């Protein structure tokens, strides 16, 4: 297991195991999930990529195991989302002293849509944007510069602004098998034994291994 290891490849300082660089307790990252950044230091993912994520909203970012996150992907939380209940988009509540408002009213400034939850084995493409409250299913692929405003089904490929489903990654029987197998929850030794089957698309071998 990659306990404590930050850089999974020798001489590559652009790719990190996210679990080992994120400190915020409101961000949970699964084992082996990687982030690549050739523009900024990937160690600063929490600062540069998780935006408008303030403790007052009690929101969480949850990312599963074996995910691949490309350079510049962003996760946008509630405080970026000015409320639509108000007659004005101006955030009066943030400036409560100026407008003689109770400090408790600060969260009225935005519409809280909840946590962002990313499943396992999800690939998030270059500069994709995941908006607040979105849940992305296991095995999904998020296209380059997609803006994801709605939940994404497992093993679907989405792209565009706003993101729409392009196609499923596999036929439904294969998807069902993978969601049942949940190979990402296997011990490291078992995954290692089956890397060839996983990377070659041999679902039958995985099913046999899991009997």
172-190 mean pLDDT: 96
Residue 2 predicted with pLDDT over 80? no
Class of the CATH domain delimited by 15-169:
mainly beta
Taking a C-beta distance cutoff of 8 angstroms, is the pair 137, 153 a contact?
A: yes
122-133 mean pLDDT: 98
Among candidate residues 11, 60, 82, 135, the one labeled active-site is 82
Contacts of residue 134, Cβ cutoff 8 Å, sequence gap at least 6: 116, 117, 148, 149, 150, 151, 152
Task: Report d(CA 193, CA 188) in Å as an integer.
Answer: 9
pLDDT digits (tens, 9 = 90+) for 76-109: 999 998 888 899 999 998 999 999 999 988 988 9
Based on the residue annotation, tell me whether 82 is a catalytic residue of this protein: yes
For residue 39, CA distances in Å to 15, 70, 119 come to: 11, 11, 26
Q: Where are the domains of the chain?
A: 15-169, 170-211
pLDDT above 70 covers what percent of the chain?
Answer: 99
Question: What pLDDT, on a 0 to 100 scale, did the predictor assign at position 125?
Answer: 98
pLDDT above 90 covers what percent of the chain?
Answer: 86
Residue 195 predicted with pLDDT over 90? yes
194-200 mean pLDDT: 95
Query: What pTM value is reported for the model?
Result: 0.93
Task: Report d(CA 130, CA 178) in Å as an integer.
Answer: 24
Radius of gyration of the chain (CA): 19
């Amino acid at each position: 297991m990659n306990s404590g290891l930050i850089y999974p490849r020798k001489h590559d300082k652009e790719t990190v195991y996210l679990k080992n660089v994120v400190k915020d307790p409101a961000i949970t990252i699964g084992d082996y999930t990687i982030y690549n950044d050739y523009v900024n230091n990937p160690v600063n993912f929490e600062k540069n990529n998780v935006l408008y994520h303030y403790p007052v909203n009690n929101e969480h970012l949850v990312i599963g195991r074996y995910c691949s996150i490309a350079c510049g992907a962003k996760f946008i939380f509630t405080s970026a989302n000015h409320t639509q209940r108000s007659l004005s988009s101006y955030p009066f509540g943030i400036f409560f002293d100026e407008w003689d408002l109770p400090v408790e009213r600060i969260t009225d400034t935005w519409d809280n849509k909840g946590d962002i939850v990313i499943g396992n084995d999800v690939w998030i493409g270059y500069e994709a944007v995941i908006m607040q409250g979105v849940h992305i299913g296991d095995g999904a692929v998020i296209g380059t510069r997609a803006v994801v405003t709605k939940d994404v089904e497992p093993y679907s490929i989405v792209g565009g602004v706003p993101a729409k489903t392009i196609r499923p990654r596999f036929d439904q029987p294969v998807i069902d098998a993978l969601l049942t197998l949940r190979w990402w929850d296997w011990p490291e030794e078992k995954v290692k034994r089956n890397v060839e089957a996983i990377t070659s698309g041999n679902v039958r071998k995985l099913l046999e291994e899991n009997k």
